[in-house]
A = this chain, B = another copy of it.
Amino acid sequence: MIKHNEYFEGKVQSLAVDGHEKPATVGVMAAGEYEFGTELPELMTVIAGELQIQLPGESEWSTYRNGQSFNVAGNSKFQVKVPVNTAYYCIYG
């Protein structure tokens, strides 16, 4: 069964993509600002929209749009600003 997850009262939702080399999700973030925590390292790719990211321990923000990816270390927190509803794909591990 495809697992559906909701975070931040439904403002971020994801669907699990099982059966590949590493676990993954596709999801949507509604416009807003969030702090996410990682367990495993994450490779995030923007499918449609824009994510402004402040990685752990960094002061500046980086912007990622359609087709662009970024890595986040495991066991860390990162800040996200979402100017428009954004679809993403995330690979864990």
Q: Which residues of A contact B (CB under 8 A)?
A: 1-2, 4, 10-20, 24, 26-28, 30-31, 47-49, 84-87, 89
Contact = CB atoms under 8 A, between A and B. Distances in A.
B10 A13 contact: no
Given A4-B13, A26-B48, 13 more contacts: A2-B10, A14-B15, A15-B87, A17-B28, A17-B48, A19-B85, A20-B49, A24-B48, A26-B28, A26-B89, A47-B47, A47-B89, A87-B89
Nearest to A45: B47
Given A2-B28, A11-B2, A28-B26, A85 B47 contact: no
A30 B4 CA distance: 13
Contacts of A87: 15, 17, 24, 26, 89
Can you list the 6 inter-chain pairs with the closest CB atoms, starting with the nearest? A19-B85, A26-B87, A26-B26, A15-B28, A17-B87, A2-B13
